[in-house]
Amino acid sequence: MRKTKVIISKKDLINNYNFIKSQTKVNKHIAIVKANAYGHGAIEIAKLLSQQGIYAFGVAYTEEAVLLRKAGIKEPIIILVQQAEEDIPDIVEYDLQPAVSTVKFLQTLNQVAKSNNKIIKVHLFIDSGMSRDGIASEDALDFVNQTLPLTNIYYEGICAHFASASLDPIFTRYQLESFNKAIFSLKENGINFNTIHTASTASIINYPETHFNTVRFGISLYGYPPDIQIGYKFKLTPILTLKSNISLIRKIKKGDSVSYSRKFIADRDTNIATVPIGYGDGYSRLLTGKAHCIIKDKLYSIVGAICMDELMVNLGDDNLEIGEEVIFIGKSENHSISADDLAESIGTISYEITTLIAPRVPRIYVD
């Protein structure tokens, strides 16, 4: 196994799951495991949450759902992104639940479902202000009325997504009002849903009125708040540690340069360690000149341009040994580096940092 690896704490995942559940008053919870569970390993995370009694899983694409089914996941799997008609045979075969926004897609889905003697559950996606997926609230009744005659389609759920539940209460409440109008219009006409879900991590904590009867857990499962400015409200623990080991150590002289483009030139004699991790593993090249790592409970600077497969660490006068453990995301006794820390240094979010970790980096799950 490669020295570079990701360690996932099963205990911390379950603790995060139980904490978020405690913040809700609903019995149905959807775990979002799209993008390989935000880089944490979708199949393994889904299996662990299945053992905890999760209601359903959410993914972005049909192929993600099929992988879960083939791995033995039996809970409902909701596909949150509008899928192409080419995906319909798999949706029917594997009993998936797509979020829907177009009549034509539903008509084709109905034809394939009928030919396979199946009823396919779908979720009506309402665009209440995100302007990304779904249909406008005011069009919901007409949309459903057009598609109710489709005999092999069953409207299991209705959903929406908030654009800024972390930081913008005015717009969030506008979106909620828009969604409620759609619900009211449909209910007045005798159209009800078993599963109503709008709340993801931020709105679970900030807006209890958005919980309805189902909520979605996303980044919080993996130990991060959706925005560091509201992190204090969350009792979460990051479940991922990214680490490697020193593969080489060399002494360079004052004036020597390190890595491509000579971005680092030593201002004195120093020891440089090479570590076998780079942007090919998802450790972004944008971190060049900005990132640190932890070795033997001490912070060290990463120097020179980050390469595809390796990076270099300035050890100064310290005499370390080949094989020493190097932590890039994680903690020691006195230091910690989180995905939020890395994200802040390059102007992105924790979601991207963990999701970028490449498949070639093995994931190891520990109790």
pLDDT, position 285? 98
The residues with which 135 forms a beta bridge, in sequence order, are 126
Region of 226 (left: φ > 0; alpha: ψ -120 to 50; beta: rest) is: alpha
Annotated active-site residue in 11, 187, 251, 260:
260
Residue 260 annotated to the active site: yes
Q: Do domains 10-223 and 240-366 have the same CATH topology?
A: no
pLDDT, position 233? 66
pLDDT, position 125? 97
pLDDT, position 245? 98
Report the first-to-last Cα separation within the chain, whole angstroms. Answer: 20
**CA-to-CA distance for 156 and 146, rounded, in angstroms?**
16
**CA-to-CA distance for 25 and 44, rounded, in angstroms?**
27
Enter the tokens of residue 89: 């045979």
pLDDT, position 81? 96
Contact of 315 with 231, CB cutoff 8 Å: no
The one-digit pLDDT tens for each residue of the chain (367 residues) are: 789 999 999 999 999 999 999 999 899 999 999 999 999 999 999 999 999 999 999 999 999 999 999 999 999 999 999 999 999 999 999 999 999 999 999 999 999 999 999 999 999 999 998 999 999 999 999 999 999 999 999 999 999 999 888 778 899 999 999 999 999 999 999 999 999 999 998 888 888 999 999 999 999 999 998 876 665 567 899 999 999 999 999 999 999 999 999 999 999 999 999 999 999 999 999 999 999 999 999 999 999 999 999 999 999 999 999 999 999 999 999 999 999 999 999 999 999 999 999 999 999 999 9
Contact of 202 with 229, CB cutoff 8 Å: no
Annotated active-site residue in 34, 224, 243, 351:
34
**CA-to-CA distance for 91 and 80, rounded, in angstroms?**
13
pLDDT, position 86? 98
pLDDT, position 2? 87
pLDDT, position 35? 97
CATH architecture of 240-366: Beta Barrel (2.40)
Residues with Cβ within 8 Å of residue 232, at least 6 apart in sequence:
none
Contact of 46 with 31, CB cutoff 8 Å: yes
**CA-to-CA distance for 168 and 70, rounded, in angstroms?**
40
Region of 239 (left: φ > 0; alpha: ψ -120 to 50; beta: rest) is: alpha
What is the helix (H) or strand (E) element at residue 125, kind and residue range?
A: strand 120-127
Domain boundaries, the chain: 10-223, 240-366
Residue 34 annotated to the active site: yes
Region of 261 (left: φ > 0; alpha: ψ -120 to 50; beta: rest) is: left
Instruction: For residue 120, give the nearest of 90, 162, 163, 80 by alpha carbon.
Output: 90
pLDDT, position 168? 84
Residues in the chain: 367
Residue type, 40: H
> Is the CATH code 3.30.870.10 the one for domain 10-223?
no
